[in-house]
Structure 1
Amino acid sequence: MRASRLLSTLLLLQTRGRLTAQQIADELEVSVRTVYRDIEALSAAGVPVYADRGPAGGFQLLDGYRTTLTGLTTDEAAALLLDGSGATAGDLGLGPTLEAARLKLLASLPAEQRTTAGRIQERVHVDAPGWFRDPEAPPHLDTIAAAVWQEQKIRIRYRKWDQTPVERTLEPLGLVLKGIAWYLVARGRTRVNAYRIARVDGVEPLDAGFERPEGFDLRRYWLEWSERLQETLYSGGSATVRLAPRAVELWWMLGPVASRALRETGAPDPSQPGWVRAVVPIESFEHARIDFGRFGPDLEVLEPAELRALMVSDAAETLRRYSADSG
């Protein structure tokens, strides 16, 4: 542990230049006293680190000194290959590993390239989750991730989309972060499927390994599975709707399938200036009733008649509740 910390201290000084003991302590999450001891150990090992006194002082390496001890461990290389942010790596228990890998990567670059990389890091930040939506932090994610790394079978207790509980014995093949939701891609008894990890109520690692299917491509599987899922979800027919400008502006909230339908079928409604008429796919009357209800008076269902009747009933019930004597 101390050897890793000494290397991290050395790489921090190499990539950042002069740093105070407090800055190093904050980066490595140790005490200032520990930093002083580590600096003494580096000096004793022949590393040319020296201290400047005064308010603008700190520790730094002798000009021109570079260490070549920047080799990445297997875990650090794996962390760098993750698509996503440090928060993603943190969910998988790889946060500190990713930071160590980034530090080693910066230290291995020539000074000019390191400056360019630093400028990019200072000027670009990726915050993947959408507004007003907190990323999921499933309680069993770390256990499932460990099984993925170790190619170890697991038994899970799972709630299907309709809350029906089931048990599955799975061979975990990979993890996917879709927006704010984590999914496990795993092979069951007969086929490969995807499971939303937030609906996993329990995980039991089994004393059995497995061999990955030859040629299995996680990215390709996910793209194909996502397309099939969207086709399945929007198999409930379609609805003709009339949208006010505000509803058009907020239509993106219903997702890419609804947005594409609006782009492809939307046209000005001659009976309502400024409004748009469109034909959009729906999952079911119940789902459409909830989705469309979010827009209030800015959306009108024209067809089918059964869905329009549901919307009318909801509007009447809402009016009744707000019109009721509160006393």
Structure 2
Amino acid sequence: MSKADNMLTILWMLRSGSKRTAQQIADELEIHIRTVYRCIDSLCASGVPIIADSGPNGGFQILGTFAESPLMFDSSEQKALVHASIFAKEAGYPFTEELERAIKKLKRYTNDKQLEQMERHLSGVSVMQPPIQEQHLAYLQILESSAVEGQTLSMVYARHGEDEPSRREFDPYSIIHWKGQWYTAGYCRLRQEIRSFRVDRIIALHNTDARFERPLDFSAKEFLLNSLLPSEGDTSVVTVVIRGHNYALNELCQHWLFGHTLTCRLHGEAHFQLQESTLYKYAPYFLLPYGKALTILKPQSLIERLSQVAQDMADHYERMLSLPSQIK
């Protein structure tokens, strides 16, 4: 550890109220005893009231009310920090190693009672999230750094439904974690407009010498949500009315596609405004798992599309039944 880390560690050890000898401190920190004396001299020079008692029960301790002053974080704040670290790590936060080092420092600069409480809180929260690939973590770090530094990136991106990936110059404004996926939003120089991209579809990412200025009023969150909603005056918007059990409707209204397009919620009924392209491309596959719990009242075209998708799935599994069994 650096001298500053050693000084902080010694400070928090003494703030616990216990008396420590120089040798005990050296053994615990795995440093030379002369380093302990130098750190204590520096702490005293900075105004920390450390006294040394000689004899069999001697050692260093902090004098007066300094040892009783509030810690940097109280127990509730420490709990919030360790819980937040769990969520961040499981969400694929790109700076997990730095976060873990920060939590280790937080543990190091606490007394035994606080450390015990922190360990209990760590085991009190669990988050289930699909793991993110190491390559995508590296891309997230590049995107975040480039957004801060204003550095244009060269990106190879595999768009869904396209056979060949495309290369483009991209000015990343922000990275966004939403519904279990990481996205980046910024200015695409190929399309000459602000666009969003899924990080797990990025094939390659490299720095360039070009620079950019991020718009001060840009909100990645608002941009991503607005891209899912129909624009005002859009003639391709279709009204969808669904009736069903309230538990099923409640779940449907929390879905990313339906939740942001809800216009009316009644008992046993919900109204949505969906873009026509989205309605027939995605909606049937989101509605099918609810089975008979939901009934589509309108439009008729959505019912027909659902029927077609269901029939295609039934045909697919009928063909599987006709194949020789692969299980031996």
Instruction: Assess same fold via TM > 0.5.
Output: yes
User: Partners in 2 of 1:16 and 1:195 — Cα distance?
Assistant: 49
Report the secondary structure of 2:9's partner residue. helix
Contact residue 17 and residue 60 of structure 1 kept, 8 A: no
- 1:59-94 CA deviation, whole Å, 9 max, x = no partner? 98535457xxx9xxxxxxxxx9xx986537952364
Gaps in structure 1 of 5+ consecutive residues: 21-31, 51-58, 71-79, 108-114, 268-275
RMSD of equivalent CA atoms? 5.0
> Residue in 2 aligned with 1:187?
187
Report the secondary structure of 2:213's partner residue. coil
2:269 counterpart (259, 277, 296): 277
Structure 1 residue 98 displacement after superposition: 4.5
Cα gap change, 1:101 to 1:149, in 2 (>3 Å): farther
* Aligned positions of 1:167-182 closer than 5 A: 167-182=167-182
Structure 1 residue 229 displacement after superposition: 0.7
Contact residue 242 and residue 302 of structure 1 kept, 8 A: yes
Gaps in structure 2 of 5+ consecutive residues: 21-25, 44-49, 53-58, 72-80
- 1:258-281 CA deviation, whole Å, 9 max, x = no partner? 2466672434xxxxxxxx233323
Report the secondary structure of 2:220's partner residue. helix
Residue 200 (str. 1) matches residue 194 (str. 2): no
Letter in 2 for 1:238: T
Structure 1 residue 291 displacement after superposition: 0.8
* Aligned positions of 1:147-166 closer than 5 A: 147-163=146-162, 165-166=165-166
User: Partners in 2 of 1:102 and 1:264 — Cα distance?
Assistant: 48
Letter in 1 for 2:206: E
TM-score, scaled relative to structure 1: 0.60
* Aligned positions of 1:6-85 closer than 5 A: 6-10=6-10, 12-13=12-13, 35-37=29-31, 41-46=35-40, 61-64=61-64
Residue 301 (str. 1) matches residue 296 (str. 2): yes
- Percent of counterpart pairs with the same letter? 12
Letter in 2 for 1:222: A
Structure 1 residue 6 displacement after superposition: 1.4
Cα gap change, 1:35 to 1:149, in 2 (>3 Å): same
- 1:17-60 CA deviation, whole Å, 9 max, x = no partner? 6699xxxxxxxxxxx9672326762234326599xxxxxxxx98
TM-score, scaled relative to structure 2: 0.60
Aligned residues: 272
> Residue in 2 aligned with 1:112?
none
> Residue in 2 aligned with 1:110?
none
Contact residue 89 and residue 95 of structure 1 kept, 8 A: no
> Residue in 2 aligned with 1:95?
99
- 1:200-229 CA deviation, whole Å, 9 max, x = no partner? 1111112x252524x6134xx224413421
User: Partners in 1 of 2:307 and 2:184 — Cα distance?
Assistant: 40
User: Partners in 1 of 2:51 and 2:93 — Cα distance?
Assistant: 32
Cα gap change, 1:63 to 1:216, in 2 (>3 Å): same
> Residue in 2 aligned with 1:142?
141
